[in-house]
Amino acid sequence: MMAQQSKTWWGQKFIKALESFCDPNRLRRGRSYANPRKIINFERHQGDVLAHVRGSVNPYFGVYKEPLYTTEVKIVPIPKKDWTKIIQKLSTNASFVSRLLLNEIPENIQDCFEEAGYNFLPHSSQDFQTDCTCPDWSNPCKHIAGVCYWLAEELDHDPFLLFELRGLSRDALQKELRKTPLGNALASGLVGEEIEPEPVESYCTVPQTKTLPNSISLKEFWLGSQRIPEAPPSRGGAPVPGIVVKKQGDNPEFWDGDRSFLETMDEIYERVRTKYKNVF
pLDDT digits (tens, 9 = 90+) for 13-25: 888 887 877 778 7
How would you label 19-35 residue by residue, b for 16+ Cβ within 10 Å and e otherwise? eeebeeebbebbbebbe
Cα–Cα distances (Å) from 210 to 179, 199, 207, 213, 225, in that order, read 53, 26, 10, 10, 18
Amino acid 2: pLDDT = 38
User: DSSP 3-state helix, strand, coil percentages of the chain (rounded to 5)?
Assistant: 40, 10, 50
Task: Reply yes or no on whether the pLDDT at 280 is more than 60.
Answer: no
Residues near 21 by Cβ (< 8 Å), separated by ≥ 6?
Answer: 124, 125
- pLDDT band at residue 132, thresholds of 50, 70 and 90? very high
pLDDT tens sequence across 23-50: 787 878 888 888 888 888 888 876 788 9
Tell me the pairing of strands 48-54 and 68-75. Answer: antiparallel
Amino acid 71: pLDDT = 92
Domain boundary assignment for the chain: 9-190, 242-275
CA angle, corner 121, sides to 136 and 45, nearest 5? 65
Backbone angles phi, psi at 226, to 5 degrees: -115, 145
Sheet holding 128-132, edge to edge: 39-45, 48-54, 68-75, 128-132
Backbone angles phi, psi at 172, to 5 degrees: -65, -40
Answer for the pair 23, 30: CB distance below 8 angstroms, yes or no: no
Amino acid 189: pLDDT = 62
How would you label 257-269 residue by residue, b for 16+ Cβ within 10 Å and e otherwise? eeeebbeeeeeee
Mean pLDDT score, 173-193: 76
Amino acid 1: pLDDT = 37
Amino acid 55: pLDDT = 86
Amino acid 279: pLDDT = 52
pLDDT tens sequence across 204-259: 887 888 787 777 777 777 777 777 677 766 655 555 566 666 667 777 777 777 77
pLDDT tens sequence across 67-91: 899 999 888 888 888 888 888 888 8
Cα–Cα distances (Å) from 184 to 100, 113, 192, in that order, read 13, 22, 13
Model pTM score: 0.58
pLDDT tens sequence across 140-174: 888 988 898 888 888 888 888 888 888 888 888 88
Mean pLDDT score, 88-106: 84
